[in-house]
Amino acid sequence: MRSLEVKNRTSVDDIKGLRLITAIKTPYLPDGRFDLEAYDSLMHMQILNGAEGVIVGGTTGEGHLMSWDEHIMLIGHTVNCFGSSVKVIGNTGSNSTREAIHASEQGFAVGMHAALHINPYYGKTSMQGMVAHFESVLSMGPTIIYNVPSRTGQDIPPSVIHTVSQNPNMAGVKECMGNDRIKDYVDKGITIWSGNDDECHDSRWAYGATGVISVTSNLVPGLMHEMMFRGKSPSLNSKLMPLIKWLFREPNPIGLNTALAQLGVIRPVFRLPYVPLPLAKRLEFVHIVEELGRENFVGDKDVKVLDDHDFTLVGRY
C-alpha cells in the first residue's frame, strides 16, 4: 500500500508535542462486543478535559484481547469521530513482525496519526532482530516505541533506541524504566513520555519528559492535564498517589476497569482473563473518590461499590 507515507497529514513534530495522551479504555456490551456508545462518551470526556491524544487498543484498551479487524475498526472509528479534536495513536504493535506490519499499514490507511510499537514480547528476539522489527514499520508514519520490560520480559536498550531514532518517523519513546533512563534519552534529544503514572510528575518536571501516556487520566483527565501543564506541583502529585497506587495493585487494566464500572460510565463487563477487583478494593475506591472529589472523576452518577454478581465475565465473544 504505497500511498501511506504521503497520505498521513500528521507531522512527527505534531506527535512530539503531545503532553497528555490517554491510553483509552475499551468498554464492552454484555456479549463482549465493543460498546461504542460508551466508548464515544469516554472519548468526549477525554477531549473536554484536555487530553491531546489517545492510544487506541493499548494494553489498557486491551488490544491483546481484540481480533485485528476489531482493532483496526476501532482506530478507524476513533479517527472518523474524533480525529479532528485529538491525535489518534493506534497500538498496532505486535510480537509478530508480520502482524505489526499488517496492522500498521491498515491503521495508517484508516487515518491514525501515529503508531505505538512494542518490542517482541514473550517470543523475544536478539538486538538485531529487535531493530529489524522496528525498521519494518517505521517507514509507514509517525511512531512511538514502548518499553515495558515488566510485561515484555525484555528491555529495549538505549542502543536500539539510538539506532531506530535515525528514522525521521521516530517520534519518541514511552518509557517505563524510570527517570534515569528518561534523563539519558532527553539529554540526547529523544522525546519521552512517561509510561508510569506514579512517576510522571517528576519525569515531566525534573527529568525532561514531554508528557505522559496515562492510565489514570481515564478517571481524572482534568487533574492529569493539570499535572502535565501547570508546572511542578508536588501537592497535586501527592493527592493523586493513593488513586494511582490503588489502580496498579493488580495488573492494569483490572483496577481501571473496575473503577470505570463503579463510576457508572461503562457496563460492568470484563473480557477474560481480566476479572474485577474484589469487594474490599471496590470499597477502597469509593473512599478514594470521596477523598479526591467526585467532580474530578469522569461521569456524573454516584460511585457505587457494586456486587460481585453485577459483573459479567466473557470468554467467548
Residues annotated as catalytic are 146, 174
DSSP state of 64: G
Find all residues with CB under 8 Å of 9, minimum gap 6, and list them.
none
Q: How far apart are the first and last CA of the chain?
A: 31
Minimum CB separation of residue 219 from a second copy in Å reads 19
Nearer to a second copy, 34 or 205 (CB): 34
C-alpha cell recorded at residue 38: 460508551
Question: In whole angstroms, what is the distance from residue 275 CA to residue 67 CA?
Answer: 20
Do residues 113 and 89 make contact, with C-beta atoms less than 8 angstroms apart? yes
**CB of residue 121 vs a second copy: minimum separation in angstroms?**
4
Residue closer to a second copy (CB basis): 19 or 77: 77
Q: Minimal distance in Å, beta carbon 301 to a second copy?
A: 18
Start-end of H helices in 67-173: 68-82, 97-109, 127-138, 149-152, 158-164
CB of residue 83 to a second copy, shortest distance in Å? 8
User: Taking the complex as a whole, how short is the minimal distance between the CB of residue 272 and a second copy, in angstroms?
Assistant: 4
As a dihedral over the C-alpha atoms of residue 260, residue 231, residue 150, residue 133, rounded to 10 degrees, the angle is: 100
How crowded is residue 186: how many other Cβ atoms within 10 Å of its Cβ?
A: 19
Task: Rank residues 6 and 295 by Cβ distance to a second copy and give the closer one.
Answer: 6
User: Looking at beta carbons only, is 93 or 172 nearer to a second copy?
Assistant: 93
The DSSP string of 241-270 is: HHHHHHHTSSSTTHHHHHHHHHTTSS-SEE
Nearest distance in Å: CB 252, a second copy: 8
What residues have CB less than 8 Å from 143, skipping those under 6 apart? 114, 115, 116, 117, 134, 137, 167, 169, 170, 171
Closest CA to 166 of 147, 184, 189, 192: 189
Q: Which is nearer to a second copy, 73 or 236 (CB)?
A: 73
Taking CA atoms, 283 is separated from 127, 262, 303, 304, in Å, by 45, 10, 10, 9
Query: What residues form DSSP beta bridges with 115?
Result: 90, 143
